[in-house]
Amino acid sequence: MSTPSKSTTLPRGIRWGAIAVASAYLFLLASLFIRDALALVILLPLGILLFLIGIVLWGLAAWNEARSKGML
């Protein structure tokens, strides 16, 4: 069983991934309340794009971490 890591430094990819996903939540939540056509056209694609960026950043950071530990 693996033991908890002592390092508390958050990898950059995870930090920016979390920021992107959190912003995406806000954009998409805003799109639920601002029901104007122009706002929806801007907020919806931007929210989805931010989610994708966040997921990719997190995935890359997790991949790098696993590789540096020799798990891949």
Partner 1 sequence: MTWICIALAALGLALLLIVTRAHGFRGAPGWRLLAFTAFFAVPVLFVVSSLQADLHHMETVQFCGSCHVMERYVKSLSYDDDEPLSSVHVRNNFVHQKTACYSCHVDYAMFGSVKAKMNGLHHVIANLQGKGRGKIELYSPYKNGNCLHCHGPSQRFREVEDHNAEADFMTRVQAGTLSCVQSGCHDEGHYWDGKYDEAGTSESDADTTEAGE
Is the CB of 32 or the CB of 67 nearer to partner 1?
32
- Least gap, CB of 53 to partner 1 (angstroms): 11
Residues listed for the chain: 72
- Least gap, CB of 72 to partner 1 (angstroms): 14
54 touches 34 (CB < 8 A): no
Tell me which residue has tokens 């020799």: 70
Query: Helix axis angle, 12-33 relative to 37-68, nearest 10°?
Result: 160
Residues forming contacts to partner 1 in the complex (CB under 8 A) are 1-10, 14-15, 17-18, 21-22, 24-25, 28-29, 31-32, 35-38, 40-41, 44, 47-48, 51, 54-55, 58-59, 62
